[in-house]
Amino acid sequence: MKAVVIESYGGKDQLVEKEVPAPVLGNKQVIIKSEATSINPIDWKLREGYLKNDMDWKFPIILGWDIAGVITETGSEVTDWHVGDKVFARPDTTRFGTYAEYVAVDDYLLAKKPENISYAAAASVPLAGLTAYQALFDHGKLEKGQTVLIQGGAGGVGTFAVQFAKAVGAKVITTASKKNHELLKKIGADETIDYHEENFAEKLSDIDLIFDTIGGDVQKESFKIAKKHTGRIVTIVGPADPDLSEKYDVALESIWLNPDGKQLQKIADWIEKRIVTPVIGASFPFSQQGLQDAHALSETHHAVGKIVITF
Ligand SMILES: NC(=O)c1ccc[n+]([C@@H]2O[C@H](COP(=O)([O-])OP(=O)(O)OC[C@H]3O[C@@H](n4cnc5c(N)ncnc54)[C@H](OP(=O)(O)O)[C@@H]3O)[C@@H](O)[C@H]2O)c1
């Protein structure tokens, strides 16, 4: 089958198209023929070699951890899924990722693709959507009536977080460049802050939850505006500083996404009810050039919503 792989760490030119063996099907897995995948910053962070201590994999590595497509084979112990089912998933983090025509995925990670969106839109959801969901609800304990600040609302994770927070009845404040404010208001932001012009830490106070998708000084400054004692910060761009947590009396968690098909199904239900709509900022074809261009865009740190790859 065709895949786009890396055979050593480095720049986007390391992404090369190759014929590779088809995936091997496990007993509790299905094979999905891919219709679409999406780009996440982990793809180019891994490509550069920044994560090699955590993910010490052999080459070639197939990057990509989002898929939407059709099941073509099921393992001997799979009971809930059938050939022909239209599905999407955040596959397990292995070196056999989703920049490939066929991918083996564990059955517990699958969810039914929402009927009302394209495969491309579906492929934009799993990694970013599950991250936003777990940050806000499993870790952030966000509830109706609370105020949440989403740092980086215009990004892949941020555009889901804004919509999820709105869906449960929270007051949503978010930081983004001015050009993205109209979009963010449309998808549910009550207040937008242009971080180029205004200092959020001088403008806001008493925030129940800050969801940090940016890190660095943005994370550090966030402590100043969280509610003392009950306020919390959830970051997906650690490391987090426990001293600041203690100094400001604000809970702090640095999290990693935990792939989960059941939770993805809840997001799919919101999408089918039109409570949530994926925001696709750019689309590229599945090819060496398409993946290289998609990585270049993601690496700008200013992509809007999600970048998808169609097969
Ligand atoms: N821990 C985990 O499990 C996990 C999971 C998913 C992602 N992540 C990490 O989380 C980060 C975000 O991921 P993503 O997919 O959302 O990335 P992304 O789509 O590439 O984020 C791009 C967005 O960041 C915004 N941005 C850049 N600098 C900003 C700033 N100073 N303040 C506010 N917004 C700013 C840009 O908005 P403007 O153009 O409007 O400035 C742009 O829309 C990445 O570092 C990723 O690796 C971690």
* pLDDT (tens digit per residue) in 81-100: 999 999 999 999 999 999 99
pLDDT band at 226 (very low <50, low <70, confident <90, very high): very high
Report the atom number in ligand 1 closest to the C-alpha of 153. Answer: 34
User: Would residue 266 count as lying in a domain?
Assistant: no
Q: What's the distance, CA 129 to chain centroid?
A: 5
- CATH code of residue 177: 3.40.50.720
pLDDT at residue 239, rounded to an integer: 84
Instruction: Kindly report the protein residue whose alpha carbon is nearest to atom 32 of ligand 1.
Output: 152
pLDDT at residue 274, rounded to an integer: 97
Mean pLDDT, rounded, for 116-136: 98
Phi first, then psi: what are they for 262, rounded to 5°? -65, -40
pLDDT band at 215 (very low <50, low <70, confident <90, very high): very high
pLDDT band at 193 (very low <50, low <70, confident <90, very high): very high
175 Cβ below 6 A of ligand 1: yes
Pair (26, 89) in one structural domain: yes
With beta carbons less than 8 A apart as the criterion, state whether 14 and 1 touch.
Answer: no
158 Cβ below 6 A of ligand 1: yes
pLDDT band at 211 (very low <50, low <70, confident <90, very high): very high
With beta carbons less than 8 A apart as the criterion, state whether 172 and 190 touch.
Answer: yes
User: Would residue 265 count as lying in a domain?
Assistant: no
100 Cβ below 6 A of ligand 1: no
Q: What's the distance, CA 141 to chain centroid?
A: 19
For residue range 99-110, list pLDDT tens digits in order: 999 999 999 999
- CATH code of residue 55: 3.90.180.10
pLDDT band at 185 (very low <50, low <70, confident <90, very high): very high
98 Cβ below 6 A of ligand 1: no
**Is 178 a residue whose pLDDT tops 90?**
yes
278 Cβ below 6 A of ligand 1: no
Query: What is the whole-number distance in angstroms between the Cα of residue 133 and the centre of ligand 1?
Result: 15
Q: Is pTM beyond 0.95 here?
A: yes
Secondary structure element (H or E) that encloses residue 120, with its range: helix 119-123
302 Cβ below 6 A of ligand 1: yes
User: Would residue 219 count as lying in a domain?
Assistant: yes
256 Cβ below 6 A of ligand 1: yes
pLDDT at residue 72, rounded to an integer: 98
User: Would residue 263 count as lying in a domain?
Assistant: no
User: Would residue 268 count as lying in a domain?
Assistant: no
User: If DSSP codes are grouped into helix, strand and coil, which group holds residue 267?
Assistant: helix
Question: Cα–Cα distance between 4 and 99 in angstroms, integer?
Answer: 6
pLDDT at residue 238, rounded to an integer: 82
Pair (225, 283) in one structural domain: no
Q: Which of 37, 40, 46, 125 to mutate to test the pocket of ligand 1 (most atoms within 8 A of CB)?
A: 40
User: If DSSP codes are grouped into helix, strand and coil, which group holds residue 118?
Assistant: coil
In total, how many domains does the chain have? 2
With beta carbons less than 8 A apart as the criterion, state whether 40 and 301 touch.
Answer: no
Instruction: Kindly report the protein residue whose alpha carbon is nearest to atom 22 of ligand 1.
Output: 155
pLDDT band at 240 (very low <50, low <70, confident <90, very high): confident
Tokens 């089958």 -> residue: 1
With beta carbons less than 8 A apart as the criterion, state whether 264 and 108 touch.
Answer: no
Residue 21 structural domain: 2-125+278-310
pLDDT band at 47 (very low <50, low <70, confident <90, very high): very high
pLDDT band at 50 (very low <50, low <70, confident <90, very high): very high
From residue 1, give the alpha-carbon distance in Å to each of 76, 197, 258, 283, 285: 23, 49, 29, 22, 16
User: Would residue 260 count as lying in a domain?
Assistant: no
Share the mean pLDDT of the chain: 97
209 Cβ below 6 A of ligand 1: no
